[in-house]
Amino acid sequence: MTRKKQMVAQVEAGLSAKLISDSDNVQITKISLRHPNKKMVPAVLEGLRARYIPKATDLAVNALQDAHAFLMSEADQSREKIAALQQRLLEFEVKYPSINPEQPDVTQAEESRLIFEKIDLERDISNFKATKLELQRKLAVAESPDSPTKPTVKQTAPNPRYAGLAQEIERITAEIQQGLTIKEMTASHPEIVRLNDLLDMRKAELENTPPTVAINDVPEELIKVQHAAKLTEADLGSVQNQLTNTEARLAVVTGRLAEIERSRTLALEHRHLYHKTKAEIRRLESELRDWQDHIAPVAQVLYLENMNRAVRFEAMQDAWVTRTPITPKVSLVMLVCVGLGVAVGILSVVIAELIDHSYRTAKQLTTSLGIPVIESIDEIITAGASRQRLLRRMVILPLAGMLVVAGAVTAGAVAYGSLQQPEKYQQLTQSTTELFDSLVGGE
């Protein structure tokens, strides 16, 4: 058990995965294992792959199903919120017709028409009041005590008021027909309503007006006065009815204008809520498009998975053992070698300086011994010493440098071969060993 745990720990420590390629449809992953026993590497990797593929397939399918369910749930919630907000917008537009500044105000045309109608009604009311005052004055004059009353009537004659009423009824009827046909007015139009009311009054007056009047003992002037009084009284009643109807219509128009103005005021007060609701709808629609964009590829993959054509894991290449060791790296080895060489050179120079007790300058001698130097003589070089110095400078030092460089190159080549080309390095080592053994055996 201890050996098994140790092996598992080694595999766990040396196992690594690296993503090599990643696209919309394909992902390629490289699995590596660092292990001291290279013979175990292929078997371990193949075993891991055999267990990993079915589990990874199930996990991927489950993850896609969970993602699809989540995306569908979010999309449905967005749709429900959008529907509720759109219903709220519709309620705003029905309750406050002018709340949407991007659409024309449907009440503006009605308001303009009502304003002009109100002006006409106010002018008509003013005219009717003036006419009423004039008719009241005439009626008061006709009914004064100075006027003759209740004459004795013995003969009759056609009543001119009766004929006048009949002609006026024909004229009003013609005007109503002209307004309904030629001018395309509706039955509820104020002018048509006024003419109908006047027509009804004239018809009622015609029913109460006798077709003939007594003329025997009545002076002609009295007949005219009485006829004029009756006409004035009838006109006064007609004007009073027209005035009442016009004032009632003016009250309706004024109330409707006040209602339109109140509706606009409320629309301005609720416009920020309207715009806020529209902005929220746009945000939710953007979110819904994002959810749908994510749902489409997931649904396509799940559809293909139902046909066993979607999620597949395949081995692109069988497991193999690398010819070169993973560690140590050649660059690291060469860097360590160079560092050690530099350190050894510096250490050698320092030791040589510490061991050397000779004096090279007069200043060193004065500083060390405290004796003043009167005169110094340069080194006396003989012919033999000059030849030795020349030999050392021209032959021995270059040769030593070449040997050092050759040694460094040989060491680097050996390190590189042992790390990067182990097979060739082993063959070379074996052939060198055999050659050395043959030479030693020959001797």
CB 239 within 8 A of CB 197: no
| Domain co-membership, 286 together with 421 | no
Q: Name the region of 308 (left: φ>0; alpha: ψ -120 to 50; beta: rest).
A: left
| Domain co-membership, 63 together with 111 | no
| Domain co-membership, 8 together with 59 | yes
| Domain co-membership, 83 together with 119 | no
Q: Measure Cα distances from 365 to 359, 361, 362, 372 in Å.
A: 6, 7, 5, 8
Mean pLDDT (10-residue bins), the chain, 443 residues:
72 71 66 69 72 72 83 90 90 82 76 84 82 74 55 60 82 83 76 84 83 59 62 75 85 86 84 89 91 83 62 54 61 74 80 74 75 72 78 80 77 70 72 74 53
| Domain co-membership, 138 together with 198 | yes
Domain assignment present for 132:
yes
pLDDT of residue 229: 66
pLDDT tens string 348-360: 778 877 887 676 7
pLDDT tens string 200-211: 888 888 888 887
| Domain co-membership, 120 together with 215 | yes
Residue with tokens 């309750």: 95
Domain assignment present for 378:
no
Domain assignment present for 319:
no
| Domain co-membership, 255 together with 287 | yes
How many structural domains does the chain have?
3
pLDDT of residue 150: 46
Tell me how far apart the alpha carbons of residues 314 and 150 are, in angstroms, rounded to a whole number.
128
Helix, strand, coil share of the chain (percent; to 5): 75, 5, 20
Tell me how far apart the alpha carbons of residues 169 and 238 are, in angstroms, rounded to a whole number.
13
Domain assignment present for 321:
no
pLDDT of residue 84: 92
| Domain co-membership, 152 together with 242 | yes
Give me the domain span that covers residue 37. Answer: 2-91+301-306
| Domain co-membership, 211 together with 267 | yes
pLDDT of residue 283: 92
| Domain co-membership, 83 together with 16 | yes
Domain assignment present for 388:
no
- CA–chain centroid gap for 95, Å, is 30
Tell me how far apart the alpha carbons of residues 434 and 439 are, in angstroms, rounded to a whole number.
9
Tell me how far apart the alpha carbons of residues 248 and 125 are, in angstroms, rounded to a whole number.
11
Question: Is the whole model's pTM more than 0.75, yes or no?
Answer: no
pLDDT of residue 80: 92
pLDDT of residue 217: 47
pLDDT of residue 153: 44
| Domain co-membership, 230 together with 110 | yes
